[in-house]
Structure 1
Amino acid sequence: MATKADDGAQQFMKAFLDPVSVARYAEGPPRFVPGFDALHRMTSVLLDEHAPSDARVLVLGAGGGLELKALATAHPGWTFVGVDPAAEMLRQAERTLGPLMARVELIEGYIDDAPAGPFDAATCLLTLHFLGTAERERTVRAIHARLKPGAPFVAAHGSYPQDASRDLWLSRYAGFAVASGADPEQAEMARSAVATAVNMMSPEDDLSILRAAGFADAEPFFAAFTWRGWIGHA
């Protein structure tokens, strides 16, 4: 979580402020995001295609530290700036990273609080769906402005058809969580929250935002039920 969410999503994200919920954060994404660990590995591979061995990487939505840990472990020469507005999630990131914190700077705030760069690469995972359309567009443009020419950017978040099939996709979202060990009541609560409080878009609209922000070659690389991922270059 590292951007200014709209009012509905702010309500949904209260769990990121609760120390008890944050302490269990690592249990959640693998249950609700199919291929969660593989998404981190794919992100690492995609960034590595263009990032140098000593890359400086911007991670927007760094709270919890899971993607930071995956990327820092895979690339010992990279350094990172992680940005997130939730102080409790950043404390969890410190615990998750342990000695890897030597290569990570954590900043409490939003994209406007990130250094100007230029960075060699950037990621924003499981975050942009918390933003309204205008703020999402502005945030992606601000990421682009902080990257070196040609630098890779990986985004992945909730994105699925916003037509008559929407409810079916939400049911699949909850069904996967239950099949992965989530409590059925918790999964249904999450489904309801996503349906009513999170600004989901269609994959086509998400891709249009990335391209309009300057990532003209943006293309999808990941699709798993209600989740999508894209790679583009500044």
Structure 2
Amino acid sequence: MSPDELKALFDQQAAHYDAQWAKTQPIRSCLHLLVDAAFAELPADARILCVGAGTGAELAHLAQRNPGWQFTAVEPSGAMLQVCREAAKRAGFASRCRFHEGYLDTLPTAAPFDAATCFLVSQFILDAAERTAFFQGIADRLKPGGVLASSDLASDVTSPEYEVLLRAWMNMMAAADLSPEAVDRMRKAYAQDVGVLPPQQVAAMIAAGGFEKPVPFFQAGLIHGWWSTRR
């Protein structure tokens, strides 16, 4: 799927995105709880980069718990970013946010960040070199020692374990009120449009992109998460 096609897809989903995934909220809540631990030692006035911010779930979580932090939300889908912006206004922290519509490479590298989040984003980059360069782009915008909390769908798709996890994952999607047609489209997308790789390969790409050895800190079904610090 090309960047323009991906942007158009999320533009179409923006208005109903949060409602569609409401029943999978426990996964996000657990991920956010662990990110709190990863970011616990950041300064009171930390600057946080949210890459692929979407509708702003992690931004809202972090902003509500850290009243002195400043945020830059990077999101190529204008419709998703608008939902994020409106949610920040309603919650009263929009004045601490910068909303940047575009891909990460359009964001200047000046004024480095203390930490970054990047949840379920790099999986859409199918070319290995481009995916590594994406992580390098995050590293370039972090201070030395800056923390990255990232997650992606990850598994060895050639293994018997993947079939077990995929079946359970699709059952969960069906229980989250996705139609059988939507679940079938998702299964096909995982095979064609999503770079589902073994976790160790994703970790290697993060490291090659300018980070110390990533530390796995989270798994929920097919979602794996890593903590990394910029070299």
TM-score by length of 2: 0.89
Please say if residues 29 and 36 of structure 1, whose CA atoms lie closer than 8 Å, have aligned partners that are also in contact: no
Q: Which moved more, 1:25-34 or 1:191-200?
A: 25-34
Which residue in the other structure is 1:3 paired with? none
SS in 1 for 2:32: helix
The 1-side partners of 2:86 and 2:187 are apart by 29
Alignment check: 8 A CA contact 1:31 1:176 kept: no
- For structure 2, list consecutive stretches of 5 or more residues without a partner in the other structure: none
Structure 1: distance between partners of 2:114 and 2:187: 36
Q: CA deviation at 1:96?
A: 1.8
Letter in 2 for 1:119: F
Distance 1:42 1:83, change over 3 A: same
Corresponding residue of 2:37: 45
The answer to whether 1:115 aligns with 2:108 is: yes
- The structure 2 residue matched to 1:154, chosen from 130, 149, 155, is 149
Q: Distance in 2 between matches of 1:29 and 1:203?
A: 24
Aligned to 2:159: 164
2:118 matched to which residue of 1?
A: 124
CA distance in 1, matches of 2:26, 2:181: 19
Question: Which of 81, 87, 90 does residue 81 from structure 2 map onto?
Answer: 90
Alignment-mate amino acid for residue 139 of structure 1: F
Kept in 1, the 8 Å contact 2:8–2:77? The answer is no
Match of 1:17 among 11, 30, 46: 11
Match of 1:80 among 71, 79, 98: 71
- Deviations 1:10-50 (Å, cap 9, x if unpaired)? 646643122xx21111134454576112112221221223x
Structure-1 separation of matches of 2:20 and 2:150: 19
What SS does the corresponding residue of 1:102 show, helix, strand or coil? helix
Q: Structure 2: how far apart are the matches of 1:198 and 1:93?
A: 24
Question: Which residue of structure 2 aligns with residue 180 of structure 1?
Answer: 176
Q: CA distance change for structure 1 residues 196 and 160 in 2, over 3 Å: closer, same or farther?
A: same
* Cα-Cα RMSD: 2.0
In the alignment, the residues of structure 1 paired with residue 15 and residue 5 of structure 2 have an alpha-carbon distance, to the nearest angstrom, of 19
Q: Which has the higher contact order (CA 8 A, sep 6+)?
A: 1
Q: How many residues align?
A: 225
Equivalent residue of 2:226, what SS?
Answer: strand
For residues 216 and 46 of structure 1, the distance between their equivalents in structure 2, rounded to whole angstroms, comes to 15
Q: Secondary structure at the match of 2:187?
A: helix
- Who is 1:197 aligned against? 193
Determine the C-alpha separation between the residues in 2 that align with 1:29 and 1:219: 27
Q: Is the 8 A contact 1:57 1:81 kept in 2?
A: yes
Q: More displaced, 115-124 or 191-200? A: 191-200
Q: 1:212 aligns with which of 204, 208, 224?
A: 208
Q: Structure 1: how far apart are the matches of 2:83 and 2:228?
A: 29
In the alignment, the residues of structure 1 paired with residue 214 and residue 55 of structure 2 have an alpha-carbon distance, to the nearest angstrom, of 27
Aligned counterparts of 1:33 and 1:200: Cα–Cα separation in 2: 22
Listed as ranges, the gaps of 5+ residues in structure 1 are: 1-5
